[in-house]
Chains A and B, each alone.
Chain A
Amino acid sequence: MHQSRLVRNIWLGIENLLLHKLRSFLTMLGVVFGVGSVVAMLAVGEGASKEALRQIQKLGSNNIIINSIKSLQEETSTQQRSRMSMYGLTYLDYQRINESFPCIHKSAPAKLIRKESRVGSNTLELRIVGTTSEWFELVPRQILAGRVFEKKDVDDLSAVAVLTEYGARKLLATKNTIGQIVRIGGDSFEVIGIIKTESGQAGNIQIPDQQVDAYIPLITIRKYFGDVFTKRTSGGSIRELVELHQIIVQVDNTENVESTAAGIERMLQNFHKKKDYEVSVPLTLLKQAEATKRTFNIVLGSIASISLLVGGIGIMNIMLASVTERTREIGIRRAIGAKRSQIIVQFLIETVVLSTIGGIVGLAMGIIIPIIITYFSSMPTVITLQSIILPLFISIGIGIVFGLYPAINAAKVDPIIALRHE
């Protein structure tokens, strides 16, 4: 009974709004664009932050990544004095880190070299990472063919290589290449597997396997090629001694990540004269990304609330005009026996119907726009349930908030005066 009354009230509201189709439509536009832009902006923002989070998660939230960097001081001094540049993480660092922090439960060193390589008749310079079998546990990637190297391969100083998708493409290697010999820097290595590569950047940290063509056990690299490499530059060639380019450490518990990272930083400070290393924590980046997202949401929220406020004021304006225009109707209803509260409900429902329809239309717009954006710019957009439900409630809320004043004004109409109103 009570419900059917509400339904009748809503129909009455719709009928009244349909009497002035153009006016109702124009009034609605404010809410349509307000809600539409909120939903669209939320979708774009959510898409961007999802993408960032995905990238960071690829690095592993329990991981700490330590990179060797060539300090600025080093950069200038090498050119003046020796032709040999020495910097970065050492094997000793790696050992110390592993021994000093009990909460580290896995770690992998990485040495980056470039070597002329050949499979069959294809010759190319490959970017090679020398590492241990733990690497593939810390940076898990899909195995496309064959296998990755194991502890045994490392211990045996086996001459084996795992190609990445990049490397395989470069050397035109296929699944059938498994078991074949690839010549790297004049030595023979057996291709034992091909793994998938992930590309992209997360914050300032490069994905560890970005632009890597092949993996070879670290000890094998040292045995075959040593630690000194010649780097060709525009001004000739520089000999470089970098023992390790990267150490990836995995901590047993997320809670320990930041304290361990700080500990590693302190320890390295003690043993390195120059700051030729950099400790990055994906978790910190994750937190930063979340903070950025929050800021973004606040900014979006403010813009959205301004546009919704404007929409709401538009509705209020029209409803006030409508109340004045319908003074006589209000007077008639009051004379017949409508209570003030019933007049308030009538006008409030009309406003809420208006703003809710506006909200639904805006929602449709806000869902279509991100799809168009994704289609044309390949920017990822995500529409969450929250970004659908929230604007709907907001548009209903706008109807109530901005409809209340005109409705109360309507109820204040004195029937005696209203009936005389022409």
Chain B
Amino acid sequence: MKDLKVRARKKENNKQCKTMDIVRFNNIYKIYEMGAEPVKAIDGISVAFQKGSFWAIMGPSGSGKSTMMNILGCLDRPTSGRYFLEDKDVSTLNDDALSDIRLRYIGFIFQSFNLIPQLTVQKNIELPLYYLGWDAHKSAERAKELAEKVGLETRLNHRPAELSGGQMQRVAVARALAAEPHIILADEPTGNLDSHTGNQIMELLASLNKEGTTIIMVTHEADIAAFARNRLHMKDGLVERIEGN
């Protein structure tokens, strides 16, 4: 009788997980075969991030946070373990399917902005929409809307080289938002910015999170990580500790 009850509660828990967790890692390993000694970049991590949360993944270099980010972003597949993205097992998908997941679920923000230099601000923002197959008119409207949101509506026809670092990162944020992703993955988003501009970008990200977007960010700067509501510390491919409110 008691046993049944426990099982029922477990089931309920699982159900709750289904609705709340956007990302779930089940015993994820990432092992690189380099030379004789295999390198364990991720050495068995099980973790779940809730929908609407704002996480900072921290750790010294070599701790595995970049690998973590690549797997989270579906740029790389784990060697073993299962990765559920909104209850969808994405750990075994092929390249085309992963591309589609990146397109529809994930928005990337990079340390070095990674805008396409020959495209205008507008075209850069439109890029995910282009791959989604939106028509030109609809994409242009969406791009304008997003440019306004990040405060760059007057720069639509400029090329990245004509913008400041902060502005470039705003374009990157707008681009990341274009396809209405479920998660935004930010890899050291302020790494190439001065602290003032960096804070502005972080405020932008925090406001996006308030609107409901899940944000996972990799950083090694504590003051930047302070913008996140949860912090995950990594060390040697393992979760060292989790802190948050």
By a beta-carbon cutoff of 8 Å, the part of chain A in contact with chain B is: 1, 4-5, 8, 15-16, 19, 328-329, 331-342, 415-416, 419
Contact = CB atoms under 8 A, between A and B. Distances in A.
Contacts of B76: 416
Contact of B114 (A332, A338, A341): A332
Nearest to A5: B133
B164 interface: no
17 contacts: A4-B135, A5-B133, A331-B114, A333-B116, A333-B127, A335-B75, A335-B102, A336-B102, A336-B108, A336-B128, A337-B99, A337-B104, A339-B96, A339-B131, A341-B96, A415-B75, A419-B114
B118 A19 contact: yes
Given A1-B135, A337-B179, 18 more contacts: A4-B135, A8-B130, A8-B136, A15-B118, A331-B114, A332-B114, A332-B115, A332-B127, A333-B116, A334-B99, A335-B73, A335-B108, A335-B114, A336-B103, A336-B127, A338-B103, A340-B95, A419-B110
A340 B133 contact: no
Interface string B91-104: 00001100110111
Given A337-B99, A415-B75, A416-B76, A1 B133 contact: yes
Contact of B116 (A332, A334, A341): A332
Among A15, A339, A340, which residue has the most Cβ atoms of chain B within 10 A?
A339
Nearest to B102: A337
Interface in B143-197: 175, 179
Among B73, B99, B116, which residue has the most Cβ atoms of chain A within 10 A?
B99
A134 B134 CA distance: 78
B135 A337 contact: no
- 4 closest Cβ pairs, A-B complex: A337-B103, A337-B102, A339-B99, A332-B114
B70 interface: yes
Nearest to A340: B95
Nearest to B97: A339
Among A5, A15, A338, A341, which residue has the most Cβ atoms of chain B within 10 A?
A338
A338 B136 contact: no
A329 to B, nearest CB: 5
Interface in B69-102: 70, 73, 75-76, 95-96, 99-100, 102
Contacts of B115: 332
B70 A338 contact: no
A15 B115 CA distance: 16
Contacts of B118: 15-16, 19
A242 to B, nearest CB: 84
A335 B132 CA distance: 14
A340 B136 CA distance: 22
Contacts of B127: 332-333, 336
Interface string B120-145: 00000001101111011000000000
Nearest to B70: A416
A5 B73 CA distance: 27
Nearest to A422: B112
A220 B75 CA distance: 103
Nearest to A15: B118
B143 to A, nearest CB: 14
Contacts of B133: 1, 5
Nearest to B127: A336
A340 B96 contact: yes
A8 B137 CA distance: 12
Contacts of B96: 339-341
Contacts of B179: 337
A19 B116 CA distance: 13
Given A335-B73, A337-B102, A328 B114 contact: yes
Contacts of A338: 99, 103, 131
Nearest to B124: A332
Contact of B100 (A4, A8, A19, A337): A337
A334 B96 CA distance: 10
A339 B99 CA distance: 6
A342 B108 contact: no
A340 B103 CA distance: 13
A23 B128 CA distance: 29
Contacts of B102: 335-337
A336 B95 contact: no
A186 B116 CA distance: 98
